[in-house]
Amino acid sequence: MEKHHRVRLNLALEELADTGFVEIKLQELYRTFDAERLTKGVWRQLLERFSGVLDENEEDLASKIRVVFPRQKDGIILLYRGLHDSDGYVSAKTLENMTE
């Protein structure tokens, strides 16, 4: 991961911690992690970085984060602080599910 990608990702994760949500473009994730697919390893690295931002246990944190894939978007939205799938989103999985 290049330094400028790391900086942008850390800023996004800080925004998630501050506001409870952040949108990240899929192409940005692919470039940041130098990946062709968003594998479990990518989701684990996101979780590891976010737990570092919050200084919280990864296992506890994983169940508090939702990954939303909006229909008309080319990105993902990460939600934090216990928002539920019943909020009308197309697909929301916990980050815990994405890393298993």
Confidence of residue 98 (pLDDT cuts 50, 70, 90): low
Indicate whether this model's pTM tops 0.85. Answer: no
In tens, the pLDDT along 21-46 reads 888 898 898 998 888 988 888 888 88
79 or 93: which leads in pLDDT: 79
- Token pair 């290049």 in the structure block, residue: 2
In tens, the pLDDT along 47-92 reads 888 888 777 777 777 777 878 887 777 888 888 864 444 544 444 5
Q: Report the 10 Å Cβ neighbour count for 72.
A: 5
Sorted by sequence, the CB contacts under 8 Å of residue 55 that are 6+ apart come out as none
Asked if 87 and 21 touch (Cβ cutoff 8 Å), the reply is: no
- pLDDT in the model for residue 65: 80
C-alpha 27/C-alpha 100 separation (Å) is: 23
